[in-house]
Every structure is written in C-alpha cells, then in structure tokens.
C-alpha cells in the first residue's frame, strides 16, 4: 500500500514546481484555489503542502488564455468542469457583447483626446504664426447636439457650461471637440446686444443620438481667428464685414464662435484662441 501511494505521489508536482513550469507565482496558484478555479490534487494533512497532477497543470494555460481574452477571474468559474462546448459558446457570446461596448467606449475616449490635442495644436499654430487673416472656408455638413440658453456675455459660464453638461449626462450623450456658440444675428452679437445663444457640440462617434441634432456646415463661411479675451472680439466682426463688402459677399445673418483654446485648457485669457465663423454667400 505504501508503495502504491509513493508511486502516485511521484507523479505529482509541488506548488513550487508548478509555479516555475507554468510561469505563475505560488500566490496566484493559491488565489486560483480560493476561487475554485484550480484545486490541488493532494494536500498533505501534516504540513499543508500542495501537489498537482499533469492534468491539473494543463488548466493553467487555459486560464491564462481566458485572461488574455478579457475574462475576469470571477467569470472563469466552471471552465475546467464542463464536458460540453455549449458552456464556452455562451461564455464567448456574452464576452463579445461586453467587449463590443468596451471597444465603443475606448473609441469615444480616443476621439475626444485626439480632438482636444488637435485643438491645442491649431491654437498654438494660430498664435505662433500670428494668423490673423480673413479666410473663406467650406465646412462639411455635420450634426451637433444643441441647447438654447440665455446669454449675458459671460463666456466662462457658456463654455464651461454646467447646465449643458448635466443635460448631456442625463441622456448618456458624450461630446467631443470644441464648444461652438451660435448667435442668430452677427451684428447684434458684435454690438453686445444678443440675449440668447445656442450651445452646440459634436457627438462622439458611438453615441446613440437620442437627443435632437442641429445641422452645422454644408456651406461657405468667412472665418477669422481672435486671440485673447473672447469678449473683446467686436473689432474682428467689423473687419469681416468690411472684407465681405469689398469682395461682394453677403454675410449672416447668424454667426458661430468656435472656441479652440479656452477655459477648458487655460486660465490666462490672453492666450485664448477663438475662431469666428459667419455664413457667407456671393
């Protein structure tokens, strides 16, 4: 009897041997045991030493691969106990659904970070190259979330807009890119007489778009950068109006102010960059 036990034990591996062979720590093996994922084949009653068979060791690469596929340890229960591939099918279908949602979340994060970096680069370029020329641009048509609000020429309140952010969060809607303010009369805006504004911002790619959308673009715009305090841009409107008259263009009636570098990035208003955009027709 003793000989048979010795032969059986000689085919088992110590926890240290298993850890070294399979590239895991002893602590990990004990954690797998606590979770019911990988039980030792024999535990010595006198000293608590753990021993593992070859078959049990072969479960470790399977657990590693499940981890690579994105499964959490608490989702691996039963991986080694099933005799039917149906268990794996259900597991994989459920995980694919979860990973798809995570992929969309990461894509939204990537888009938002990329768009913000592009804005900073645009603002730095406009500042370092002293870009102050008036230009004609065709803006591709797009669709933005929007909200109409009272406007008191408090730009910080309109740009870092708590009401706007709360509105988006309540509808699980994520945005990217600059805040763009729309005024329905560029002359009143320049004169400091506008009392209403429409806050707009681009939806992230993977939003459900449950909120109403406002179209933006799809036409020519007269554009000009304003550097500094966004509340001191009236002179730019006068320059743009004179340019349009000289070149035979009709402006407006509305206008957009697109905030390239603003309160979201800096506190120093002198370094702010705003792009004024007025629809134009020949």
Note the pLDDT tens digit of each residue in 68-87.
999 999 888 877 766 566 66
**What is the spatial distance between Cα 1 and Cα 78, in angstroms, rounded to a whole number?**
34
pLDDT of residue 99: 93
Contact between 242 and 182 under an 8 Å Cβ cutoff? The reply is no
Show the tokens assigned to 92. 């994989």
State the Cα torsion 159-162-165-169 to the nearest 10°. Answer: 170
User: Residue ranges of the chain with pLDDT lower than 70?
Assistant: 1-10, 81-87
Contact between 36 and 77 under an 8 Å Cβ cutoff? The reply is yes
**What is the spatial distance between Cα 79 and Cα 91, in angstroms, rounded to a whole number?**
10
Contact between 26 and 32 under an 8 Å Cβ cutoff? The reply is no
Q: Closest Cα to residue 147, out of 135, 132, 156, 158?
A: 158
Q: Are strands 175-183 and 196-203 parallel, antiparallel or unpaired?
A: antiparallel
pLDDT of residue 107: 95
> Quick check: pTM over 0.85?
no
Q: Closest Cα to residue 258, out of 235, 226, 236?
A: 226
pLDDT of residue 8: 57
Helix (H, G, I), strand (E, B) or coil at 55: helix
């Amino acid at each position: 009897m003793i000989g048979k036990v010795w032969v059986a034990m000689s085919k088992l591996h110590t926890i240290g041997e298993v850890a070294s062979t399979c590239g895991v720590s002893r602590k990990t093996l004990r954690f797998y045991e606590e979770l019911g994922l990988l039980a030792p084949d024999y535990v010595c009653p006198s000293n608590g030493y753990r021993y593992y068979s070859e078959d049990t060791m072969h479960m470790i690469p399977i657990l590693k691969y499940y981890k690579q596929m994105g499964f959490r340890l608490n989702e691996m229960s039963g991986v080694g106990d099933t005799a039917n591939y149906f268990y794996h099918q259900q597991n994989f279908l459920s995980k694919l659904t979860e990973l798809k949602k995570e992929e969309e979340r990461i894509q939204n994060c990537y888009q938002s970070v990329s768009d913000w970096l592009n804005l900073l680069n645009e603002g730095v370029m406009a500042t370092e190259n002293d870009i102050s020329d008036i230009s004609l641009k065709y803006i591709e048509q797009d669709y933005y979330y929007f909200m109409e609000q009272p406007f008191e020429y408090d730009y910080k309140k309109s740009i870092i807009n708590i009401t706007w952010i709360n509105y988006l969060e309540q509808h699980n809607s994520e945005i990217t890119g600059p805040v763009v303010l729309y005024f329905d009369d560029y002359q009143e805006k320049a004169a400091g007489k506008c009392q209403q504004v429409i806050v707009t911002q681009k939806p992230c790619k993977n939003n459900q778009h449950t909120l109403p959308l406002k179209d933006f673009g799809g036409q020519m715009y007269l554009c000009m950068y304003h550097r500094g305090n966004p509340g001191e841009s009236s002179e730019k409107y006068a320059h743009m109006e004179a340019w349009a008259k000289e070149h035979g263009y009709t402006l407006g009636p509305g206008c957009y102010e697109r905030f390239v570098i603003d309160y979201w990035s800096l506190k120093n208003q002198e370094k702010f960059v705003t792009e004024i955009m007025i629809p134009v027709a020949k």
